[in-house]
Amino acid sequence: MDNNHKLLVRTVDVSELLPQQPPFVMVDSLLSFDNDTTVCGYCVPEDGVFTDNGQLCAAGLVENVAQTCAARLGFYNKYVLNRPVQLGFIGAIRNFCVARLPRVGQQLVTTIHVEENVMGMTLASAKVECEGETVATTEIKIALIETVVKE
């Protein structure tokens, strides 16, 4: 990735990259983007869709990973290819492991590493960290469809 994209990551509004709308948005910021790896941040809200008993539930961790992938694909389409943001969906989740559930107010840092891109499918490994501790890992397959969500 060139320096222009590095600077852009710092200023991009992540909501422009996602097809999801509040209250279903599970990433707050795009922290980094390069050829293979994307990192997003998310602060667990008290009134979140996936917040229960003061914690983000496991389904919220999966959705956070999926939306980190969506932010990656949205950034790539919009700022690298100069194309509209496309709609995608989860094709598969494998080897999902939760060490602990993050609490309300804690900041998540989610890193995805693209393992393979084939025929509109992206296979990525993911790690969700909270306060420097790995709280979840998984492999995710995301499928893109040609539907344009945001110009």
The tens digit of pLDDT for each residue in 39-77 reads 999 999 999 999 999 999 999 999 999 999 999 999 998
Pick left, alpha or beta for residue 51 (phi over 0 → left; psi -120 to 50 → alpha; otherwise beta). beta
Q: Are strands 37-43 and 51-52 parallel, antiparallel or unpaired?
A: unpaired
Q: Which amino acid is at 83?
A: R
Q: Band of the pLDDT at 9, cuts 50, 70, 90?
A: confident
Provide the number of structural domains found in the chain.
1
| DSSP conformation class of 104 | T
Return the higher-pLDDT residue of 9 and 50: 50
Cα atoms found within 13 Å of the Cα of residue 96, Cβ hemisphere only: 14
What's the domain range around 122? 26-150
Assigned domain for 58 exists: yes
First and final C-alpha spacing in the chain: 23
pLDDT above 90 (res 4): no
Q: CATH code at 98?
A: 3.10.129.10
pTM for this structure?
0.91
Assigned token pair, 25: 């948005």
